[in-house]
Copies of this chain bind each other. A is one copy, B any other.
Amino acid sequence: MRTFRVTVAYEGTAFHGWQRQPELRTAQGEFETALSDVFGETVTTVAAGRTDAGVHARGQVASFRLDTRLPARAIVPMLRRRLPSDLEALEAAETDPGFDARRSARARRYAYRLLDREDVLFRRVAWHPRRPLDADALERAVRALEGEHDFSAFEASGSSPTRPVCRMARAGWRRWEGGLQLDLVADHFLYHMVRNVVGTALAVMHAADPAAAMRAVLQSRRRSKAGATAPPQALCLEEVFYP
């Protein structure tokens, strides 16, 4: 048995998320169909991040094990001929037998793109919150999240995370073409966490001390203290880090 890892990118607009679901078009479903066609047998993959419906990926990583003689360098060209236009294989390599795209990942980077104003050109990959963006206040708010914290306040309502403590290595905004982009790098993320961080950052943007307001939400560990969940189409899994 050999172990492979493939980096894939997709525009999430027309997918019901990454994870394979019966009857629904998902990125994993399309990817595994193409892989199975390449190898002539059913291939099942494990991925670094389970993106929700509408969420994009530029650097999703999937792994699988297979008894095959196909050289790794042949995988991407063969996949390209079989994948739909909104799903792309970027690179493929053979890797250590113990490699698992999800469990071996040390950190993920997600980006969330805000627009300064309505922009039809970027409506599938970004979101305009219909209020002026205060870049300084937003920066102070999210900086308060760096470090190791219990992020339960930012977990989707109703679910109880098994590992609520995340190590947030980096949280900050930068300018992008359409406005402001949030980059979050953490060892792992809770369900809806990035979108809830964005909603909360916008909610505390006009507080006298946005950092203190964000810390108060974090420390409450209560979803009811956090802001609304920002929409999915502005979220993108940018990269996954391995040792």
Min CB gap A80→B, angstroms: 10
Report chain B residues within 8 Å CB of A120. 9-11, 56, 58, 86-88
Residue A125 at the B interface, CB < 8 A? yes
Residue A99 at the B interface, CB < 8 A? no
Min CB gap A116→B, angstroms: 13
Number of copies: 2
Residue A138 at the B interface, CB < 8 A? no
Residue A85 at the B interface, CB < 8 A? yes
Report chain B residues within 8 Å CB of A118. 9, 88, 90
Report chain B residues within 8 Å CB of A10. 120
Sorting the interface of chain A by its residue count into under 10, 10 to 19, 20 to 34 or 35 or more gives 20 to 34
Q: How far is the CA of A118 from the CA of B10 in the complex (A)?
A: 11
Report chain B residues within 8 Å CB of A236. 121
Q: Given A176-B177, A177-B176, A177-B177: A11 and B121 within 8 A (CB)?
A: yes
Q: How far is the CA of A118 from the CA of B89 in the complex (A)?
A: 11
* B123 A11 Cβ-Cβ under 8 A: yes
Residue A209 at the B interface, CB < 8 A? no
Q: How far is the CA of A118 from the CA of B11 in the complex (A)?
A: 12
Max chain B C-beta neighbours (<10 A), residue from A56, A121, A122, A125: A121
Q: Which of A169-183 contact B (CB under 8 A)?
A: 176-177
Report chain B residues within 8 Å CB of A58. 119-121
Report chain B residues within 8 Å CB of A11. 120-121, 123-124
Report chain B residues within 8 Å CB of A121. 9, 11, 56, 58, 125, 236
- Closest B residue to A13 by beta carbon equals B124
Min CB gap A111→B, angstroms: 9
What would 8 A/B residue contacts be, using CB atoms closer than 8 Å?
A: A9-B118, A9-B120, A10-B120, A11-B120, A58-B121, A85-B123, A87-B120, A90-B118
Q: A residues engaging B (CB < 8 A)?
A: 9-11, 56, 58, 85-88, 90, 118-125, 176-177, 236
Q: Which 3 A-B pairs have the closest CB atoms?
A: A177-B177, A9-B120, A11-B120
